[in-house]
Amino acid sequence: PTVLIPLLRAVAEGWKAERTEENAKRMYDAGVDLFNRFVKVMELFAELGATLGKTVEKYNGVIRSIDVRLWPKGEEMQRMAGSGKELASLDQIEAVPLESSKLRLTMQGDDPGDVLPFEKG
């Protein structure tokens, strides 16, 4: 019994240390996975912002074309027809997608946005 009790305690401590190490590895892997998902979401947000900007540019281009080319002909037709109906007006969209200063990813020594996913260890 004098040898068995310390031996069992040593085995229990070994198992406890092994569980702690396994938990630490799982936590590390979960952190890496979370970071990689965060990087992906930020890439998607950047793409979405660029797409929104292009959409607004295209919309405003259509509005300019209507104002310069189509609208004058519509007014001319309205005068000739003697219609009392008013043509609906469309306005340009002045909104521009915002860039978040908080969501910008930067790693030490790299340019902003140059964040690469981690590999699980």
Q: What is the mean pLDDT of the chain?
A: 80
How many structural domains are present in the chain?
A: 1
Mean pLDDT of 76-98: 77
Residue 41: band (very low, low, confident or very high) from pLDDT cuts 50, 70, 90: confident
Q: How many residues does the chain have?
A: 121
- 118 pLDDT above the threshold of 80: no
- Asked if residue 70 is part of any domain, the answer here is yes
**Distances from the Cα of 75 to the Cαs of 15, 16, 61, 81, 88, in angstroms?**
86, 84, 20, 10, 11
- Asked if residue 69 is part of any domain, the answer here is yes
The span from the CA of 91 to the CA of 71, in Å, is 13
- Asked if residue 86 is part of any domain, the answer here is no
Structural domain including 66 reads 3-81
- Asked if residue 54 is part of any domain, the answer here is yes
Q: What is the pLDDT of residues 44-71, one digit of tens each?
A: 888 888 898 899 889 889 989 988 998 8
Question: What are the residues whose beta carbons fall under 8 Å from the beta carbon of 115, sequence distance 6 or more?
Answer: 39, 42, 105, 106, 107
- Asked if residue 18 is part of any domain, the answer here is yes
Whole-prediction pTM value? 0.53
